[in-house]
Amino acid sequence: MAKLAFSVALAFALSALPGFAQGWPEGKASDRFDTGKGELEIVFLGHASLIFVYKGSYIYIDPVSQYGDFSKYPKADLILITHEHGDHLDPNAIAALSKSGTRILLPEATRRKLGAGEALEHGEPLDAAGIGVLAVAAYNVTPGRTNYHPKDRRDNGYVITVGSLRVYVAGDTEPIPEMADLGPIDIAFLPMNQPYTMTPEQTAAAAKVIRPKILYPYHFGSTDTGALTKLLADDKEIEVRIRNLQ
């Protein structure tokens, strides 16, 4: 399994790199990781909106204008969209971030709604912007909640390979059998807010199946992140990191 290296001191030392002398616009925070083939920076915009920066490429995941003034951010080399809900799919944000050559990857149902981009089906690996992208399933299973993210709509989560690291961005999902087949995961982003995604108990259960080295709950709204931290306190192999992703 890939060895994950992270240093808080290094993160602060590098916070002025590259191109943002005063850090990210709007005071957005980030964490940095050694991939074995270069540094990966993950920027926390808010809710489900993230930026991955790797070797000069900017990869946006579910960019939504509520969580950033995208006129202030670098243009995207790659945009990944998990599904069609307005807190994940924002045509205005996509337009603001797009340039000649920007690729947009998303589920087929979402591609039809947006009217642009490339559909990426579950299990399809693809290389873009210097990273590997694999679309995986994301859906609800709890009776009475399956209409939020129905399995047959085939929403996407993504396993992103950056150097030697594998990062799982789950999208909107509950614990599903497919999580057992993801393979080694170094960093996981799991959604945690009911009734749409997971309770802290479900998030902890999913984490114990996936076994990431670092777990970021995201899309958590008003859910008590402390409850998740307590549920995983005895698991010394999973580090829970809370960031501004409500």
Torsion of CA 117, 88, 145, 169, to 10 degrees: 80
Helices (H), 14-143: 91-97, 108-114
Helix (H) or strand (E) holding 29: strand 29-34
The predicted structure's pLDDT at residue 13: 30
Please give the pLDDT value at position 158: 98
Cβ–Cβ under 8 Å, residues 50 and 60: yes
Q: Would you say residue 225 has pLDDT above 80?
A: yes
Residue 104 has a CB neighbour count (10 Å cut-off) of 20
What is residue 8's predicted lDDT score, i.e. its pLDDT? Answer: 35
Q: Which residues pair with 159 in a beta bridge?
A: 134, 168
Determine the pLDDT at residue 221: 96
Q: Which CATH class is domain 27-240?
A: alpha beta
Helix (H) or strand (E) holding 53: strand 49-54
Tokens encoding 27: 């005071």
Beta bridge partners of 161: 132, 166
Neighbouring residues of 102: CB distance < 8 A, sequence distance ≥ 6: 75, 76, 77, 78, 79
Question: Mean pLDDT across the stretch 158-181?
Answer: 98
pTM: 0.91
Q: How confident is the model at residue 187 (pLDDT cuts 50, 70, 90)?
A: very high
Burial class (CB in 10 A: 0-12, 13-18, 19+), 122: middle
The 10s digit of each residue's pLDDT in 4-42 is 443 333 333 333 333 333 489 999 999 999 999 999 999
pLDDT at 21: 34
* Cβ-Cβ contacts under 8 Å for 2 (sequence gap 6 or more): 36, 164, 165, 166, 184, 186
Cis peptide before 191 (omega within 30 of 0): no
Arithmetic mean of pLDDT, 191-203? 96
How high is the pLDDT of residue 194? 85
For 74-122, write each residue's pLDDT tens digit. Answer: 999 999 999 999 999 999 999 999 999 999 999 999 999 999 999 999 9
Q: Is the pLDDT of residue 198 over 50?
A: yes
3-state secondary structure of 43: strand
Q: What are 123-160's pLDDT values in tens digits?
A: 999 999 999 999 999 999 999 999 999 999 999 999 99
Sheet with 29-34, edge to edge strand ranges:
29-34, 39-46, 49-54, 57-61, 78-80, 103-106, 118-119
The confidence score (pLDDT) of residue 22 equals 40
- Would you state the pLDDT for residue 159? 98
Angle at 189 between CA 127 and CA 85, to 5 degrees: 80
